[in-house]
Structure 1
Amino acid sequence: MKICLRALIHHFFCLVMSSYSIKDLEGFTGIKAHTLRIWEKRYHVLKPQRTSTNIRTYDDEDLKHILNISILNRHGYRISDIIKLSEKEICEKVMQLSQRCADTHSQIENLLMAMIEMDEEIFHQSFNQSVFKSGFEDTFRYLIFPFLERVGLLWQSGSITPAQEHFVSNLIRQKLIVAIDSIISPRKPDALHFVLFLPEGEWHEIGLLFTHYLIKKWGHYTLYFGTNLPIETIQPVLEKFEISFVVTQFINGICSNDLNRQIQKLAEVSQGKKVLLSGAQIIQKQFDMPSHFYIYEDIDELREIIDIQRA
């Protein structure tokens, strides 16, 4: 008996289907809760369920519907005209817009839709369209990272499930790995050598993978060790190879004392080799860094530091 993979995915999706508040819908669409209530009352664009305490709740179909409406509304369609369209017509117009429009908000909403529905086809279509128009690097800078910021906020508010977040994160991770593998290793005599890793307790590697991609693209050698690596384990690597830079990031929440201890340990292990640091915890907190430590907030700063130290 043949089993339809799409049917299995749909069945699994139904099992993890979420219940959303009106503030959740605001977080997904950017449309104020007050406006959503007006649309609901005046135009019946949403049909919420009610809890025993009379609080509105919305399901995934409501969320997909209002995401599509928000895309059309952002592109000049009046809500009074949108409600005259069938669901099929709304979806068709959204698809037409997505094929010709480079609006970042709409592209992010398409990626949100792909995440909610766990639909690889929608994700690949949106991602590949952006790469075709803007290139791989700018797709990450101006689409993927803003999208992941939205995902992070939705995760913190409990608006998405772990399965949805892992689904889309792994698709993005796969894109980066393929792009990294496609880069030919440098053979230039002045190429620098980089070690990249995330310390113990750090699992979110999309930012580090993108850094890995850029460093290889810029013509340097890399040794990539991935996530959750005890800092002291890189010491033999630094002793064996002529490493120019150690690159790591601190992203997860960590108290100042623990972060300071991690930095001190990294200073001891690096033995004077240049260290490139990034991540929310590093950027937000103020520390007295060793002289061979450099903090970068974005791609431009990263390249500038490398070029200056290389000169």
Structure 2
Amino acid sequence: MQYSISDLEQLSGVHSHTIRIWEQRYNALIPHRTAGNTRYYDDQHLVRLLNIVSINQQGLKISQICKLSEEAIHELIEEDIENTISPDQQYEYYISSLLKHGMSYNEDKFSEVLSTCIDKFEMAVSYQYIIYPLLVRLGLMWRKESICAAQEHFLTNIIRRKIEVAIDALPKPSSSNTWLLFLPEDEEHEMGLLYASYELRKRGQKVIYLGPRVPFDSVSQVFEINRIDHMLIFMVQVKLVSTAQQYIDQLSEKYPKVGLHIAGNQKLIENLNLQDNVTWLTSIEHFDTYIQS
């Protein structure tokens, strides 16, 4: 895929002028050039930039990171992958089994193992200790280029279907408390949002689920015909803090009487100034505790 420098800015959360400085000072990226001398970037550039940002957030200077070979960067990512290994051997067995069957596109085996997890541990434990760690590991493997987009889509689509089946099996809501769940227009990774929908419905809450990539103006149409008590959004993508801040402020100010809840990218959200009606749900445990109360 082909990207402009402004595309990289939106996808990495690094300002365009900062990317140019990193290119000029440290050879962080070497862009391609069109016949008209316009710079452009490809998927490998994007992955390298995301790796640089991630390693920098762990404390290593940009100048040091850019001197590293691709092999050295992959070794650092491998350390992150090792940190996703569960200390519980039982959970790790299921994570590894799902990864093995998913990488080989074995839908029957993947589905069988996932169903066994859900039957044995129930959905909440399965998601927290098996599915979510698996998704984190997949993201790291993509950055290391040891998994392709097709494999990731294959895995996540089966997981999505399992969660949707679990949602369909739940009883009708017993509460008039209504939650509106959606992702902003630039967000497409909905697994966390889908699981949140399951947990809310399991506790008798009414849920209006809009899914990913919802235009801002579309949200107001829901409010025109529904009484909404809470909104929940996820911000998973790396993006500029100023962009995320503007979006949250707009939602908060437009719906001041609605509880706005945000989850997702910790490195992003911890840098936001959240208004009184905005709650940052920092973890699955925090979310569970909040909705139980």
| TM-score, length basis structure 2 | 0.68
Give the letter aligned to residue 136 of structure 1.
M
Shift, 1:121, TM fit? 1.8
Partner SS, residue 248 of structure 1: strand
Partner of 2:280: 295
Aligned residue runs from structure 1 range 1-311, under 5 A: 27=78, 103-186=90-173, 188=174, 190-281=175-266, 284-308=269-293
**1:8 corresponding residue in structure 2:** none
- The answer for unaligned runs of 5 or more in structure 2 is 1-70
* 1:298 CA displacement: 2.4
Q: Quick one: which amino acid aligns to residue 230 of structure 1?
A: P
Q: Deviations over 1:98-136 (max 9, x none)?
A: xxx962222111111112101112212221221232112
Shift of 1:205: 0.4
Q: Which amino acid aligns with 1:162?
A: A
User: Counterpart of 1:278 in structure 2: which amino acid?
Assistant: A
Residue 288 of structure 1 and its aligned partner are, at CA, apart by: 1.8
The one-letter code matched in structure 1 to 2:243 is D
Give me the whole-angstrom Cα distance separating, in 1, the residues matched to 2:232 and 2:215: 14
Query: Structure 1 residues 200, 259: CA separation in 2 closer, same or farther (over 3 Å shift)?
Result: same
Deviation per CA, 1:5-62: give whole Å up to 9, x if none.
xxxxxxxxxxxxxxxx8968x949x78xxxxxxxxxxxxxxxxxxxxxxxxxxxxxxx
SS at match of 2:211: coil
Q: Is the 8 A contact 2:230 2:260 kept in 1?
A: yes
Query: CA 1:304–1:283 in structure 2 vs 1: closer, same or farther (change >3 Å)?
Result: farther
Question: Structure 2: which amino acid aligns with 1:244?
Answer: D
- The 3-state SS of whatever aligns with 1:222 is strand
Tell me which of the two structures has the higher relative contact order, counting C-alpha pairs closer than 8 angstroms and 6 or more residues apart. 2
- Counterpart amino acid of residue 270 in structure 2: K
SS of equivalent to 2:243: helix
**Closer, same or farther: CA 173–157 of 1 in aligned 2, 3 Å:** same
Q: Residues 240 and 202 (structure 1 numbering): CA distance in 2 closer, same or farther, change over 3 Å?
A: same
Code of the residue aligned with 1:184 in structure 2: it is P
Which digits, 9 at most, give the CA deviation of each residue in 1:82-102, with x for residues without a partner? xxxxxxxxxxxxxxxxxxx96
Shift of 1:232: 2.6
Corresponding letter in the other structure for 1:191: S
Secondary structure of residue in 2 paired with 1:225:
strand
Shift of 1:284: 4.6
Q: Deviations over 1:63-98 (max 9, x none)?
A: xxxxxxxxxxx9xxxxxxxxxxxxxxxxxxxxxxxx
TM-score (norm 1): 0.64
* Two-structure CA RMSD over aligned residues (Å): 2.6
Shift of 1:218: 0.4
Contact 2:118–2:126 under 8 Å retained in 1: yes
Counterpart residue identity of residue 139, structure 2: G
Q: Counterpart of 2:6?
A: none
CA deviations on 1:187-241 (whole Å, 9 max, x unpaired) are x3x4310100000111100000000000000001111001100223212322422
Question: Could you tell me how far 1:307 is from its partner in structure 2?
Answer: 4.6
Contact 2:189-2:212 at 8 Å conserved across structures: yes
Q: How far off is 1:285 after superposition?
A: 2.9
Number of residue pairs aligned between Structure 1 and Structure 2: 217
Alpha-carbon distance between aligned partners in 2 of 1:302 and 1:128, rounded to the nearest angstrom: 24
- Report the alpha carbon displacement of residue 167 of structure 1 after superposing the two structures with TM: 0.3
Query: If you compute each CA radius of gyration, which structure gives the higher value, 1 or 2?
Result: 1
* Paired residue secondary structure (1:254): coil
